Structure 1
Amino acid sequence: MSSIVVEDLSIDFRRYSDRSPSLKDYISSFLKPGQVSSFSEYRAVNGVSLSIASGERVGIVGHNGAGKSTFLKALCNIYQPSHGSVRIQGRVAPLLEIGAGFHPEFTGRENIYLNGAILKYGKEELKQLEPEIIEFSEIEEFIDTPVKYYSTGMYLRLAFSLATAVQPQILILDEMFAGGDAAFVKKATERMSKLVNRSDIMILVSHDVNLLRRMCTRVIWMDHGKVKDDGLPDAVIDSYLAESGGK
């Protein structure tokens, strides 16, 4: 049984000034520790505590900059907590920035193994999955070409095929997949539906509140890095829309 337990999670980032600090600035800062630095710190996620149980379909809403995507990346172990903890039981499939781990100089086939390792697939597992990944992506004749020569659609098809090759226990999505031509989007949507239906836990960030109402059993509203509301989809979404003016 899969589960997610988040306790007092905070994630801090540095916000740098527009100009790059010069060597003189660095030396001055070193010699005068009290001097104002060229960056400020801000808290993208602020003291979040929650748990998600097996069988839940969780949506996350909030304005841009509310901490939604940062929170998802913490769940996927992309960002480490500045404070607090994240405990996850179950295999996670993060469909966030699809293809972000691809190396432009490597071929499609080489990137299957590179990005597959990032997604924590074993080498033998990838050998078994490779034919199906290539077939689903529909780029067989270009699979040994460096991906820097791929069209955006080809790049996304390969990345999506790899990211969804194995049924996850925990599926984490930042918006739904919408890349490639119409025929591939239809095929990808069908695969996504199967992944969602078979996953033990699904977490979805989306600006499409109707999609969240339809797919989720629970919605979390994040605001300035904190959980503002957490409950049944209609109630939370209605409150969110009322405060944001229906946007």
Structure 2
Amino acid sequence: MLKTSDPVRTSSRIVVEDIHKDFTLRHTHSIKETFVAALRRRPLSTRFHALDGVSFDIGEGEAVALLGFNGSGKSTTLKMISGVLRPDSGQVLTRGRVAGLIEVGAGFHPDLSGRENIFLNAAILGMSKKETEQRFDDIVAFSEIEQFIDTEVKHYSSGMFLRLAFSVAIHTEVDILLIDEILSVGDEPFQQKCLARIRELHAAGKTLVVVSHDLNMVSDLCERGILLRNGRVEFDGPSKEAVALMRA
């Protein structure tokens, strides 16, 4: 968390300071493959530098796009901000309540009903039972699966599951909303409804950090773009300029 006593950072919601992250890539998938590779003196694994000294600050109420091609480090950075991953070195500081639309529905239990999962997932996202009760009708109405709300979610289609999980996440009381490719959920009318809701949250002063391959949507939704390449920040400025560099 950010220390509000620090005068330089009282206006920041997110501070990312020189973060590094490596992953181990394994080249064998069975005991036999491992044995053969060892005999032939082939490496069993290699290190992949996902993030190599990434730094930036995001102020309160900003809408920022993390851009880059596959493997650039944008989703890893988003997971660092959410707390799903920790950096090997450097630090990530946040101020306020964070909700991540990253692994939507990760806290859902298949044997519980949609109703029960709303309360469970909302609690995981930091909401009290009272807060969830106050927002329950809005969550269900937004998801458009009212008739199935008391059905166990293991019987839901993938679209129904994601609609409900998304609806819970965007109705939580948050200061920072992290979004990773979730606007591919459902059909186009539902996507547009989701996008409209995200715009409402931004208009209300919420801080947004977005990862998406939809460059037109990103440049329209976000004022600022941070372009990552090979785990490093290549550009940090107006989103339309960041998108133009992506397309160059």
* Same structural fold, with TM-score higher than 0.5 when normalized by the shorter chain: yes
In structure 2, C-alpha distance between the alignment counterparts of 1:20 and 1:80, rounded to whole Å: 29
Determine what percentage of the aligned residue pairs are the same residue. Answer: 43
Deviation at 1:240, TM superposition (A): 2.9
* TM-score (norm. length: structure 1): 0.83
State the partner residue of 1:199: 205
Seen in structure 2, the aligned counterparts of structure 1 residues 118 and 46 have a Cα distance that, compared at 3 Å, is farther
Q: Which residue of 2 aligns with 1:63?
A: 69
Quickly say closer, same or farther: Cα 1:234–1:138, change in 2 above 3 A: closer
Deviation sequence 1:24-49 (CA, Å, 0-9, x none): 97xx9xxxxxx987433322112111
Question: CA offsets, 1:139-169, max 9 Å, x none?
Answer: 2332222111112221122111101112422
Q: Does 1:184 align with 2:190?
A: yes
Change (3 A) 1:84 1:21: farther
Match of 1:17 among 5, 13, 27: 27
CA contact (8 A) 2:102 2:182 kept: no
* Unpaired stretches in structure 1, ≥5 consecutive residues: 29-34, 243-247
Q: Aligned partners of 2:78 and 2:156: how far apart in 1?
A: 28
1:8 aligns with 2:18: yes
CA distance in 2, matches of 1:173, 1:197: 16
Superposed CA offset, 1:47-78 (max 9, x none): 11111112322112111111111100110111
**Runs of 4+ residues over 4 Å off in structure 1:** none
Q: Which moved more, 1:162-171 or 1:124-133?
A: 124-133
Cα distance in 2 for residues equivalent to 1:117 and 1:166: 10
Considering only aligned residues, what root-mean-square deviation do their CA atoms show, in Å?
A: 2.5
Residues 38, 173 of structure 1: CA spacing in aligned structure 2 closer, same or farther, 3 A cutoff?
A: same
Q: How many residues align?
A: 233
Whole-Å Cα distance in 2 between the matches of residues 119 and 61 of structure 1?
26
